[in-house]
Structure 1
Amino acid sequence: MALVTTTEMFKKAYEGGYAVGAFNVNNMEIIQGIVGAAAELKSPLILQVSAGARKYANPTYLKKLVEAAVIEAGDIPIALHLDHGEDFEICKACIDSGFTSVMIDGSKHSFEENIRLTKQVVDYAHAHGCVVEGELGKLAGIEDDVNVSAEDASYTNPAEVEEFVKRTGVDSLAIAIGTSHGAFKFKPGQKPQLRFDILEEIERRIPGFPIVLHGASSVSQEYVKEIQQYGGNLADAIGIPEEMLRQAASSAVCKINIDSDLRLAFTAGIRNVLSNNPAVFDPRSYLKVGRENIKTLVSHKIKEVLGSEGQA
């Protein structure tokens, strides 16, 4: 099966009360772990590439790795998505190279400039068979090239969504309702809370329209503790409770982004091997453990958080 767009994925997810996982990829082992889990559980899948991943791994290498994964995965639908494209040029480059979905993040701009920029990307993408995700509202946190302070973060204003969607022609909309980028999402003692009232109002205003949640890693304490055991300082890492994400997935949220959880799982596996076997120098010895951690994590997310098992 060739790479697909998210159009049909999101239609089925909205109607079925589940979400599709969008997992950030950086290298071969991470891709293998994600796709292996999705293939076994017959789940639709979005592999997404950030600007940081493109700089690190080279766009050509990543694209070819994803193409290989599509061949190995068999008949599950897989979309290739650009995460947080900051301008028209990077979106165009990804569209031209065969991405089936791109995100243009104009949330740092004024409402009118966000509309102008998003529509520019939409017009080009739709002419080339690609779909577009836009964003309204600003998520706090740090992840790759995204860096928004808590003071600058803002919830999505439901009163703006109808006009934004209509004027841009965007295919899905990322909103800010309390999620945050990175592992350190909240201050110590602060209770994570998603604004389901905002989500419900947005769903009322644009019924049937696919909504996206960024910054939705749960920050598994199992992996946090394992990394801390070997010297990593993650004492204050707090994520979004999985039951909140499952509730969101059962409503208008059709895509949930997961990145920090993957980093934690991969790193925990590698640190475990290297700490217990200091003489190891074969990368295959520790990377395969990181890969297995990725597969275990993604399987859990598909079954317990996204609800997408068997929906391919």
Structure 2
Amino acid sequence: MEPLKFNALLKSTIWGGEKIIPFKHLDVQQENVGESWEISGVPGNETVVANGEYAGKKLNELVHELKGKLVGEANYQRFGDEFPLLIKFIDARQDLSIQVHPTDEIAKRQGKERGKTEMWYLLPSDADATLLCGLKQQITPTQYAEMVENDTICDAISRYDVKEGDCFFLPAGRIHAIGTGCFLAEIQQTSDVTYRIYDFKRKDKDGNYRELHTKQAAECINYNVESNYRTEYTPEKNQGVSLVQCPYFNTAVYDLDEPMTIDYSELDSFVILIGLKGEGTITDNEGNVTTLRAGESILVPATTETLKVEGNVKFLETYV
């Protein structure tokens, strides 16, 4: 079974910029595209297969049809017909709201399907781009609520200057916000549960303040303080460099300028490749040939045993 590409869902937002369409080499007219949902099984926002014998099918339809052959036997037992990861590109022309996501346990307690753990990998961003991630001082839930009310909550959160190649892991409970000028790839659990803590007193196009979820968020925040929330790693050419390993996804970055064969014969999972830079040719063990270039995301079925990658290409690899 050949690797699959999908028709991305482009979403215009009040904070969206102009980086995503050229990055993806698309010939479309759409303004303020804040997000491109690359591979999604979120109900109501499922991506559709763009190539091959399954073209036109929604992702979760395909999971239902192919089961473990597509996602891996253990993953199918764990997640059923819903694809477990959501892949996005995000372009922030303005600050996004300060948010937190619940753990699976808290989400179920609050009547939601599951929580959300995610990660960010920075693409070429503005020179002055920053983001917020994690508490930098000890505060209590009571102090948190007071700081939201008196507009000082940002004072308690670590701010980072960011550049291409930076990586941040955001386990459920870690307070965060994407800042102005950030352009990034996001890998997350299939979940759209977001609690908006603070939105800088901004109003929407109709003059209304956006809804905040201060009370629900208070239950979700991890109040532990760490010295560094940035994922530290050493870039290497022509090998996979691990970025994140967690119960929901494992992610590595590859920066190749010589051919490499990646062995998945012992892996009981689908693999997603997210193009960051350049262009390459991917040949699987069945002889199927696929191109991967910056701005493209490819779903490799669990039945695939090896991939030979050729070209000058940089990409993220993620699987469950």
TM-score (norm 2): 0.30
Greater strand share, structure number = 2
Higher RCO (CA-CA < 8 Å; seq separation 6+): 1
Q: Which has the larger radius of gyration?
A: 2
TM-score (norm 1): 0.31
